[in-house]
Structure 1
Amino acid sequence: MSYDISIWSVNKTSFENEIFNQENIKRQNEGIIFEGPNFQIMIGNSLEVMEEDIPEEVVGQLPGIKYFTEIILEPLGAPKRAFQILKKISKILAQSSHGIIFDERGTISSPTGVKRLETIKVKDDPDCLQMTWWFMKDHTFIKDDFKAFLEFIESTLPEALPRRYGIYEPPQFKLAEKGKEHFIQFLSEHIHEVIVWYPSKPFTYITIQIPPKIGATREGFRASYITMEFLEEVMNQPGWPTELKRFWLKASDQLQPFYGEMRKAKFSIGDTWWRGFPKKLGNAAVIGKPYIDLWPEFTKEAKQTDSGLFYIENIKKDYQDLHSIIAEVPEDLVQLKTKKKHSRNWPFEGPFLKYKK
């Protein structure tokens, strides 16, 4: 029998530390073997894994986990010295790969220097990015689907949960005291108002707006709208670009937007009034029905989410806008400068309801 440890990390593990240059180390194609008196420690090479392969206990521990490294100590009854060496090797490998250690007893530990989020200094006017979705779900979304969406946030990006919330500033309720059920109930009772939602860093601003009427109104076309703003600086921290991309795609599958995007906050186009696509795309865009049939050039270049949405993204540390990948938005789908006018190619009802005579 053996004692097994796994390392789940953002980067590949490395054998460059001097501990792996000793005479009792054997290198193989599958990894290395550390041989000791009456024991051996087998260390496999890093394997890239899909998100669905990450254990439930590990998900959310670190952003952007992509690699798995297996470490096996034989026999289970090895001397105490063997377990001390195993612990040392595990820490070295986890530090080199920005990872966490997960043992067969279900214990999770992080070596010194490996943090989910490094300290971000507060600036007077920080640069921010926004993830935003426009979708056609009405107030029943809060009752039927929002709990699952909130639990998804909690399991992947808990920093985005509301520390405090209310209908005015400073918000009067604390999630730690009231709990998620109260937050959901509060949201359902005030869904047509602007909710104050205070997240934790790196998130700076989150809002959900569901108008009284979805679709054509006398003033124009309205859709439900969620935006999540976060500090751009976090894109330089290990794993965060990968985690934010994963979240953006899965959130898109949950919300089923007709359009969603990620872009610099200072170029935000967001509110519940939908008039067509922005002329300039940001760093990521996803489209659903009815726009899938209206923009074939996009779907040709795009990948598909699990639910069949089409997306193009450039979410990484050195991210750029999408016009290095795809040409500009077709002119007949672009929102016009005049707020009372909508794109010439309009796939929805309306956009204006006529006044009754």
Structure 2
Amino acid sequence: MSYDVRVYGRTSLSREGIDELLHLGSLTVDDAPGGDVITVLRGVRRQYSFSFEGPVDLDPDDVPEHIVALILEPHYLYRLSVEGSSATEIPHALRFAARLAHAVGGVVEDPQAALSRRGARLREVHPVAHGTSTNVLVMTWYAPAISGRDTARMWLGCARRDLPEALPRRFGVFEPLQHKLAIDGDEAFITLAESADPFITLRCTQPCLNGVISNNRQNKRFVVHTLTVLMEPLEHPGWRTAVRRFFTRFAAASSAVFASAEVQTGMRWNGRTLSYTPDSDFVAYLAPSGDLMGLPPYPVSWAWLGQDYLDNLDTSLPPVPTEAHTRGTLLIFADCPVAREDLPAGAQFADHLRAQYAQPLRRGASVQLVPATDVATWS
């Protein structure tokens, strides 16, 4: 029987770097060939201490959810094993694991102690000062109207898999939001999502601010779900990847026919909610009656076209990078989302696919849209 410890890290450490860390603990490596597994020896007598393996490349979907909650974008796995669970050698393995985690920007998982240790600020962001103007990423999913219970389950699953900050710290149907996920639990969230008319509001953890999950109590064809995220942290590629992975996973899970991620500039944050200013961008709502009016009248940074939408439209996609998924395709107009006026020329869907402004757009004025010339239809 062995005592096993794992380290999930952001970076890869060379063999020379590993040897230096071992030396700090008066540890050395057995020179005998051992393949990918290193035998670590301790002291002048060079007695066996533990075995070590790594780094091993990690697939994001192979990272346990409880580790996802601790570290942003772990790319590598390191394994330590104390054969025979020697009480004298386990402390040496754990101390080395802690040094290794610090060196690779990672966390230590000790399954025997049901404990995971992380370094400081591996998923934290700098909070936005109250009363300041800020830019946000608004993600909107237009999905077939199904039970709010099913949608809530999907949201929880996708958030825990990719973006735990999207989990609702508080949720409810009116302000102040009445429920806390940590206290009331998943079932209370799922039950309220099923009974809400027409939606529940979520208060999340930064960089996620708030969201909406809609319920099908008005017999509409499509419902709308949203999540708003601070833009500044997305300059870090790890946050950007986590947010985009959640955007795509929830789009596929909810069978969204269309979803968009767009930067909204000029918003004001008061510490609890966002508010509009005269400089705030207009964000289109494309399904006011429950039927999709077409694609947005302006360019967006990321767009998801569900397979049903693709099958309905006989048109080519814009010449931008794409990711093909089982239930749709992600179009990446900008790797790091930017304001719509900063998107490259041509980062736009064809005119006949886009909803249009009913009158010239004026900042601060109310906006009405008319359906696109070519709107996908569903039976």
Normalising by the residue count of structure 1, what TM-score does the alignment of the two structures yield? Answer: 0.78
**Residues 1-357 of structure 1: pairs in structure 2 closer than 5 A:** 2-13=2-13, 16=17, 18-20=20-22, 24-25=28-29, 30=36, 33-36=39-42, 37-55=46-64, 57-73=66-82, 75-76=83-84, 78=86, 80=88, 82-105=89-112, 107-113=114-120, 115-123=122-130, 124-137=132-145, 140-154=146-160, 156-192=162-198, 195-210=200-215, 212-215=218-221, 223-236=222-235, 239-266=238-265, 267=281, 268-270=283-285, 272-273=287-288, 274-293=292-311, 294=313, 295-298=315-318, 301-305=321-325, 307-313=326-332, 327-338=347-358, 339-348=368-377
| CA apart distance, 1:315 | 7.7
- In structure 2, the CA distance between the partners of 1:162 and 1:104, relative to structure 1 (3 Å rule), is closer
| CA displacement, residues 44-70 of structure 1 (integer Å, 9 cap, x when unaligned) | 332222233224553433332332122
- In structure 2, the CA distance between the partners of 1:178 and 1:87, relative to structure 1 (3 Å rule), is closer
Q: Distance in 2 between matches of 1:156 and 1:347?
A: 31
Equivalent residue, structure 2, for 1:219: none
> Number of residue pairs matched?
336
Please tell me whether the aligned partners of residues 284 and 321 of structure 1 are also in contact (alpha carbons under 8 angstroms): no
Letter aligned with residue 57 of structure 2:
E
Q: Secondary structure at the match of 1:110?
A: strand
Q: CA RMSD in A?
A: 3.6
Letter aligned with residue 336 of structure 1:
Q
| CA displacement, residues 67-89 of structure 1 (integer Å, 9 cap, x when unaligned) | 2122234x435572x43332222
- Name structure 1 gaps, 5 residues minimum: 216-222, 351-357
Q: Distance in 1 between matches of 2:286 and 2:375?
A: 18
- In structure 2, the CA distance between the partners of 1:45 and 1:185, relative to structure 1 (3 Å rule), is closer
- In structure 2, the CA distance between the partners of 1:179 and 1:102, relative to structure 1 (3 Å rule), is closer
- In structure 2, the CA distance between the partners of 1:148 and 1:340, relative to structure 1 (3 Å rule), is closer
| CA apart distance, 1:332 | 1.1
Q: Secondary structure at the match of 1:345?
A: coil
- In structure 2, the CA distance between the partners of 1:320 and 1:21, relative to structure 1 (3 Å rule), is farther
Please tell me whether the aligned partners of residues 135 and 230 of structure 2 are also in contact (alpha carbons under 8 angstroms): yes
| CA apart distance, 1:99 | 1.7
Q: Distance in 1 between matches of 2:369 and 2:126?
A: 44
| CA apart distance, 1:248 | 1.6
| Structure with larger RCO (C-alpha < 8 A, sep 6+) | 1
Please tell me whether the aligned partners of residues 193 and 214 of structure 2 are also in contact (alpha carbons under 8 angstroms): no
| CA apart distance, 1:226 | 0.7
Q: Secondary structure at the match of 2:112?
A: coil
Q: Distance in 1 between matches of 2:124 and 2:346?
A: 33
Q: Distance in 1 between matches of 2:349 and 2:112?
A: 53
Please tell me whether the aligned partners of residues 25 and 35 of structure 1 are also in contact (alpha carbons under 8 angstroms): yes
Normalising by the residue count of structure 2, what TM-score does the alignment of the two structures yield? Answer: 0.74
Q: Percent identity?
A: 19
Letter aligned with residue 249 of structure 1:
T
